Amino acid sequence: MKPIIEKIVLNNKPHMFFSLLVAVLLSCSCPVRSQEPDAPSPQPNAVPQPTVLIPGDRQSASLPPAPAAITLQDAIERARKINITFQSAATDAAVAGQDRYQAAAGMLPSATFNNQAIYTQVRGPQANPIFIANNGAHEYVSQADIHEVFDLAALSNFRKLAAAAAVARARRDVAARGLVVTVVQNYYAVAAAQRKLETAQRNASEGDQFFKTTQALEQGGEVAHSDVIKAELQVQERHRQLQEAQLGLLNARLNLAVLIFKDFNDNYDIVDDLHTPVPLPRLEEVEQRATHDNPDLRVATESLNVARRDVSTARAGYFPSLTADYFYCIDAPRFATRINGVSTLGSAVSGGILFPIWNWGITQSKVRQAGYRRNLAQLQLSLAQRTLRSEIRSVYAEAETALNELAGLQRAAELSAESLRLITLRYKDGESTVLEVVDAQTTYAQANTAYQDGAVRYRVALANLQTLTGVLTTP
């Protein structure tokens, strides 16, 4: 380059010199693609920068939708719409209601319209029909019939189906309350798993920091290499627990998603009120509500009513039944309302009574059969009453114990966190051993896990009380 520049200058061509100089400067300022340095590799545990979405930007249209915020009540309502067990019980209740309606309608008069034509072979000059039961060679019947049956068995059957419909409704309530317990358990399992994951992340971070601390102290000659080994083992354990916590949260979210979404969807967030204080109702209030609104007790009571109606229905076989019919229109040799100027319209009323005389003891056998079922239903009702009293005491004691333990578990979690902080500081000052630090870390992880599990236990205990009282205690 230098000889060329000198040659240009010597040839007295300064404008060409300046042009060449500008070209050289421009070529030096332009980057060469092949000489670009490689982009820095992403650092682990780097905090991702938030993405700014600009209205109308193409990139924002491809992002997934924001997760839906699900409350506990939303989860229960969603689960009721798609849960097979509850929907099956609700369908049975609806079918039983229609059976009751049909039995009630069956006791009311029915109306039909009959159209009939009878052609009979005749003989003799007077054209008498061969079949003497027929009225003529040609007979046309077009009549409306109002029919009614008075039967004690039909009335008893209606009462039986009404009781069966009440049983189906009570079983639907049992399924609904059982579903609430399932949803509550899975809902707060997600909340607890989220908090356990946060604790595991914090433990893993503190384990990493402690490992670095031991390495620094070893380089300064303040601790032995065994401390570094123990700290490294603890780091591996904490990261394993972090992975287990991530897996636990994933499974908890999937279990809840199956319960509440018709089309599988795991893009949701729950409203975490796991540690919101919830009062425990008084035992007297629980007993009063359970006595009046317990679905299991109603199932047993209405099942006894069904058995009693079975006995009444069987006994109705001993009594006669009445029938009544009212006919109106024509029954004539021609299909016409007037023949030779005479009206063929008319009406008729018929009635009958049927007395049961002998059926080889079938009615008596049905009465005995229904009596056996009634006696069994009475025993089941007595058992349901005793079981209810036992469950009230047991479930209430479970909820009371979980509530009493929850305060202690919370205090233990707070104390373990403070103990870990102090022991770590003492270790840095050489006043505690690595085993004390590791023990404090383990105690902190166990205390927090127990605290989250205790909160879930109390919530599930409240949901079990709801199965007895029908009222879900919420914040």
For residue range 403-427, what is the model confidence (pLDDT) as tens digits? 999 999 999 999 999 999 999 999 9
Average pLDDT over residues 362-371: 94
Give a yes or no: residue 1 inside a domain: no
Report which of 66, 91, 135, 144 is spatially closest to residue 345, judged by C-alpha positions.
144
Average pLDDT over residues 154-167: 93
Predicted pLDDT at 255: 95
Mean pLDDT of the chain: 85
Predicted pLDDT at 62: 59
Q: Which of 309, 338, 355 is the last residue of a domain?
A: 355
Question: Is a pLDDT exceeding 70 seen at residue 63?
Answer: no
For residue 321, the SS3 value is: strand
Same domain, yes or no, for 227 and 309? yes
Same domain, yes or no, for 115 and 192? no
Same domain, yes or no, for 219 and 163? yes
Q: Which of 310, 334, 355 is the last residue of a domain?
A: 355
The CATH number for 117's domain is: 2.20.200
Beta bridge partners of 321: 354
Question: Percent of the chain at pLDDT above 70?
Answer: 86
Distance (Å) of CA 30 to CA 17, 20, 27, 37: 21, 16, 6, 15
For residue 346, the SS3 value is: strand
Distance (Å) of CA 444 to CA 199, 412, 417, 423: 9, 9, 6, 12
Residues 6+ apart with CB under 8 A from 202: none
Give a yes or no: residue 338 inside a domain: yes
Q: How far apart are CA 258 and CA 78, in angstroms?
A: 11
Same domain, yes or no, for 440 and 423? yes
Q: How confident is the model at residue 26 (pLDDT cuts 50, 70, 90)?
A: very low
Question: Is a pLDDT exceeding 60 seen at residue 24?
Answer: no
Question: Is a pLDDT exceeding 70 seen at residue 293?
Answer: yes
Only one residue has tokens 């019980």, namely 89
For residue 345, the SS3 value is: coil
Packed helices 225-260 and 72-82: angle between N→C axes, nearest 10 degrees? 50
Q: How buried is residue 451: exposed, middle or buried, by Cβ count under 10 Å (0-12/13-18/19+)?
A: buried
Same domain, yes or no, for 238 and 373? yes
Distance (Å) of CA 266 to CA 59, 78, 194, 272: 23, 14, 14, 16
Q: What domain range is 78 assigned to? A: 72-108+159-318+360-469
For the stretch 436-450, what's the b/e string if a residue is b when 16 or more beta carbons lie within 10 angstroms of its beta carbon?
ebbebbbbbbebbbb
Give a yes or no: residue 373 inside a domain: yes
Distance (Å) of CA 166 to CA 280, 357, 438: 31, 35, 61
Same domain, yes or no, for 377 and 270? yes
Same domain, yes or no, for 134 and 163? no
Distance (Å) of CA 386 to CA 300, 360, 394, 414, 468: 12, 42, 12, 43, 13
Q: Is residue 218 within 8 Å of residue 474, measured between CB atoms?
A: no
Q: Which of 334, 355, 376 is the last residue of a domain?
A: 355
Same domain, yes or no, for 348 and 427? no
Q: How far apart are CA 434 and CA 235, in angstroms?
A: 13
Same domain, yes or no, for 101 and 227? yes
Same domain, yes or no, for 104 and 124? no
Give a yes or no: residue 182 inside a domain: yes
Q: How far apart are CA 57 and CA 47, in angstroms?
A: 24
Convert the pLDDT of each residue in 77-127 to its tens digit.
999 999 999 999 999 999 999 999 999 999 999 999 999 998 888 887 777
Q: What DSSP string describes 55-124?
A: TT-HHHHTSPPPPEEE-HHHHHHHHHHH-HHHHHHHHHHHHHHHHHHHHHHHTS-EEEEEEEEEE--EET
The total number of structural domains in the chain stands at 2
Give a yes or no: residue 54 inside a domain: no
Give a yes or no: residue 343 inside a domain: yes
Give a yes or no: residue 198 inside a domain: yes
Convert the pLDDT of each residue in 194-214 to its tens digit.
999 999 999 999 999 999 999
Distance (Å) of CA 350 to CA 244, 323, 326: 83, 8, 7
Average pLDDT over residues 65-74: 87
Question: Is a pLDDT exceeding 60 seen at residue 279?
Answer: yes
**Chain length of the chain:** 475
Same domain, yes or no, for 282 and 382? yes
Q: Is residue 196 within 8 Å of residue 248, measured between CB atoms?
A: yes
Only one residue has tokens 């077009």, namely 142
Give a yes or no: residue 329 inside a domain: yes
The CATH number for 171's domain is: 1.20.1600.10
- pTM, rounded to two decimals: 0.75
Two tokens, residue 302:
């209405």
Q: Is residue 17 within 8 Å of residue 9, measured between CB atoms?
A: yes
Predicted pLDDT at 220: 86
For the stretch 288-298, what's the b/e string if a residue is b when 16 or more beta carbons lie within 10 angstroms of its beta carbon?
ebbeeebbbbb
Predicted pLDDT at 449: 94
Two tokens, residue 474:
């919420």
Same domain, yes or no, for 310 and 181? yes
Q: How buried is residue 214: exposed, middle or buried, by Cβ count under 10 Å (0-12/13-18/19+)?
A: buried
